[in-house]
Amino acid sequence: MKRRNRPLLLTIIELSYDLFGTQEYVKRLLKDRKFELRKAGIYTSIEMYSAFLIFSSIVGAFVGSTAFYIISLLTTTSLWGRISLTITGLITGLASGFLIAYVLPSIKAYERKIKLGEELPYVVSHMATLAAAGCTPERIFREIARQETETVTVEQFRLIVRDIDILGKDVITAIDNAIERSPNPVFTGFLQGFKAAITAGTDIATYLMDFTSNLMTEKRITVKMLGETLSLFSEMYTVLLIVFPIVMVIMLSLIAVLSTQIAGFPIMDLLYFITYVIVPIFGFMFLVIVDTIMPKK
């Protein structure tokens, strides 16, 4: 089996740990995130991830203060205004960096959940074919793990084979470990049913074929729901990124006829803020959300 590249995120986490070590006060905030890290495919300790939160916060503070300072140079000539924007960027970046690192396991776990849901029907169908050909459960796991594709499902089966070959666990225990780190409830249910079929000695091929049929039915329903979700997001996109900026520009332009400031803020600065900060943030949020929910295949 060919050697696979080491994830960049794990390299950054190790670098963070070398720089900051274990942060006990941050570690306490992560005590409920241990299983979330495993479901996200971030195979590291809470001690190391606490250091990554500090690293992410520092990077966020630097990026935020720098970005807002550049914006202040373009939007205001007031020294106090530039200092205020820079401090605002520092605080915003610090909080954003910490929050992103804190919710990153949940985001990655959700992404893996979606990918598993997309890949599972085809993998289970392949497993049913192998079972019908007379392969044992362990042999089925090995055949799936041998595939040269970097999918989440294949990764899960590689970990099962790793538990058997390297850690010396039996098939049932290896499946139990896979159930604990599964981010997808459908995949969890599949493994539980597969484990029950092995334990009870029932026909594995029949179980796999029935499960494949159910997955295909659910997939058709999921595709229909995805179309409805994208329709909703298209309406939200129109409101937040097209209608909202136009309405705000018109309103501020009309107000500028009567006054040059609103609550002490120059109207031109507010227009710049909406144009160069609010609209790009909304656009980026939509890109991230749509990229997350869209099937990759």
- Distance CA(236)–CA(141), nearest Å, equals 44
pTM tops 0.75: no
- Split at pLDDT 50, 70, 90, the class of 161 is very high
Instruction: Please state the three-class secondary structure of 185-251 as a single string.
Output: HHHHHHHHHHHHHHHHCCCHHHHHHHHHHHHHHHHHHHHHHHHHHHHHHHHHHHHHHHHHHHHHHHH
For 223-282, write each residue's pLDDT tens digit. Answer: 788 888 888 888 888 888 888 888 888 888 888 777 777 767 788 888 888 888 888 888
| pLDDT tens digits for range 8-48 | 777 788 788 777 776 666 666 676 677 778 888 787 777 78
| DSSP H or E stretch at residue 287 | helix 279-293
Check: CB of residue 193 under 8 Å from CB of residue 224.
no
